[in-house]
Amino acid sequence: MDRLPLLRAAAGLGPSGAPGTASLTPPPSAQNYSVAEGGAPVQVTFNVPPSEIDQDTIDTLDAFYRDAAEVVGSVKTIRTAMEELQQKHTENMQTVDEARSKMLRGEIEELSRETGDAAKAAKDKLDVMSKNTAKLKETPDSVQAHSAVIRIEENQYMHLVMKLTMTMAEYQRHQSANEAFYKAQTQRQIKIKYTNSDGTAIDDSTAAQLAEQVMENNTSSYIFQQSKDVLASIIETRNDIYRIEQSMRDLNQLFNDLAFLVNEQGELMDVILANVQQSTRYVEKGRAELKKARKYQKKSCKKLICIVVCMVILVAFLAVGLIAGLIPK
């Protein structure tokens, strides 16, 4: 009696197929594991808790990049204010409306103060970042544990210092150009509005001397008494120059600090460059030695081949001699 149908029935399986055939189709299941129509696919995630060292590295880099983002934001603020400041200076140089000029001077002063505050904030944040990186290098164990983090922070720090330095250098160039233009404008006003006592026009050298007197707050010359309104306008232009000079004096210490930081990074880059150049020399020397070794290898191979050929010829002669001696005459 064939018990296979009974076993299949007890297991809940259908009847077996025809003899000599095999079915690889799995039996239908009562549970449906397919995604419902219109439903979201199932996502399987595995949460692997980071180790204590990994978490410390993550926290350190997160804090560092938050500080770096603040520095980048300050640099963007400086650039935006610098562009607006240049537009205000250009308009102030061209306007003849006293009310508009007064309003522009107020806006220029506000933008200059905003630029100085942003630069100081960026410098202070860079100091904090430098101190935090220095803490990671207090002990040899800390340096070994955070070597990758230290390299990342130092490279990013150097990039931010150079970025801020270049921005402030551009700001200084703009301010110097504005100062020179205001001084030239003062000389033009003196030449156009004033004359000598005999009614002749004022030459360039006299206008330059009078403009210098205005800058020194010396307006007692008889020429300035010809028009009080023009003198008032010239004094306002002089005050614009004073404000520019004051803004540049306020940033002088910042430039000194940035120059010191750039010098430190420059020394570091010099060391890196020296190591790279030394490595390059070693590589070139190694290549030359390798070429020599290849030549020696070729020569030794040729010598070995010659020795082998000579030995073969010698053995052949000996063999021929022995064979000739063994052959009976």
Tens of pLDDT, residue by residue over 157-216, are 888 988 888 888 888 888 888 888 877 877 777 776 666 666 676 777 777 777 777 666
| Between residues 326 and 304, the one the model is more confident about | 304
Query: Is CATH 3.40.50.150 the right assignment for the domain spanning 53-280?
Result: no
The model's pTM = 0.56
Residue 291 has pLDDT above 80, yes or no: no
Sequence-separated (6 or more) residues with CB below 8 Å from residue 99: none
Q: How confident is the model at residue 72 (pLDDT cuts 50, 70, 90)?
A: very high
| Between residues 264 and 180, the one the model is more confident about | 180
- Tokens for 278, please give them: 């030394």
How far is the C-alpha of 312 from the C-alpha of 47, rounded, in Å? 73
Which pLDDT score, from 0 to 100, does residue 22 have?
47
DSSP per-residue string spanning 3-59: -HHHHHHHTT-----STT----PPPP-SS--SPPTTPPPP------PPPHHHHHHHH
Residue 271 has pLDDT above 80, yes or no: no
Cβ burial of 7 (10 Å; 0-12, 13-18, 19+) is exposed
